[in-house]
Structure 1
Amino acid sequence: MSSINVKIINQSSNPLPEYGTPGAAGMDLRANLESPVVLQPMERTLIPTGLFIELPDGYEAQVRPRSGLAIKQGITCLNTPGTIDADYRGEIKVILINLSQEPQTIQHADRIAQMIVSPVQKVQWESAVTISSTQRQDGGFGHTGKS
């Protein structure tokens, strides 16, 4: 498996994001909070991480929900996956929403999301008058009738 070097500034007291297992694709992002944040049911908020990164050209980072947080507490990320472009230099922040029926508390250092770094393929548009036919054609959501 190949790796790339990514510059990072960590203004939090949390450890740097790391892979939980050798086969993991995502690195956990942790909350950087001065005090706990209570999310009411259906409330959303922006949680800082204290992290700033410099991705190489041709790469992006995606911020995605953590499955354990979603199933255990009903907390997930909005704008999923959130894209961090190679030219973004601001703090990484995560939009969380509480989909449970009870208030949920986010503490400093809680693992709130995961981040995946991937190469980006740029598109060169080619104007056309027709495009090829497929079995699906223009069938949208639920077009196969299968659940």
Structure 2
Amino acid sequence: MLKIKVVNKGHQPLPQYATAQSAGMDLRANIDEPITLKPLERRLIPTGLHIALPVGYEAQVRPRSGLALKKGITVLNTPGTIDADYRGEIGVVLINLSNEDFVVEDGERIAQMVIARHEQGEFVSVEVLDETERGEGGYGHTGVK
């Protein structure tokens, strides 16, 4: 298992996988008092966590499906990317897409974090691209059924 250095400046437990097959770990709000998100309001919610990922890895911050379905709360910049050279506090940009106020409580599971390998690419200028079956078809070009 990949070891990730973490400094927890908050008062919440470290993220953990809920099951042996889980891809994401829950991130918790680390706040001194509840935060009310009004409809269509967005806020940066602190977690108290600072991590050092190995080179070649990123962390993605994603919505929790239960909050999205039941409460209309999601992560605005989905997925949020944490780069290997970032050492600041992990924050979660939540938005309330419901018609009702939503109160974020201290310790509430607000998002999930997935650790993933990545590669950097280098663009190489060419005059022509290889032909493919799709050609230059755009959004929705392959149909809906």
Structure 2 residue corresponding to 1:140, chosen from 118, 130, 138: 138
Aligned pairs, number: 145
1:8 corresponds in structure 2 to: 6
Unaligned ranges ≥5, structure 1:
none
Pairing 1:40–2:30 present: no
- After superposition, give the CA deviation of every residue in 1:46-87 in whole Å (9 maximum; x if it has no partner): 000000001111111010000001011100001110000000
SS at match of 1:61: strand
SS at match of 2:134: coil
1:71 corresponds in structure 2 to: 69
Mapped to 1, the partners of 2:7 and 2:138 lie a distance apart of 43
Deviation at 1:133, TM superposition (A): 1.0
Mapped to 2, the partners of 1:53 and 1:144 lie a distance apart of 41
Unaligned ranges ≥5, structure 2:
none
Deviation at 1:90, TM superposition (A): 0.3
Q: What percent identity do the matched residue pairs reach?
A: 57
Q: TM-score, normalised by structure 2?
A: 0.96
Q: CA RMSD in A?
A: 1.0
Pairing 1:20–2:13 present: no
Deviation at 1:114, TM superposition (A): 0.4
Bigger Cα displacement from structure 2, 123-132 vs 86-95 = 123-132
**Alignment-mate amino acid for residue 102 of structure 2:** Q
Mapped to 1, the partners of 2:144 and 2:113 lie a distance apart of 32
- After superposition, give the CA deviation of every residue in 1:22-66 in whole Å (9 maximum; x if it has no partner): 111000000001000000000000000000001111111010000
1:106 corresponds in structure 2 to: 104
Over 2 Å off, 4+ runs: 124-127
Deviation at 1:125, TM superposition (A): 2.4
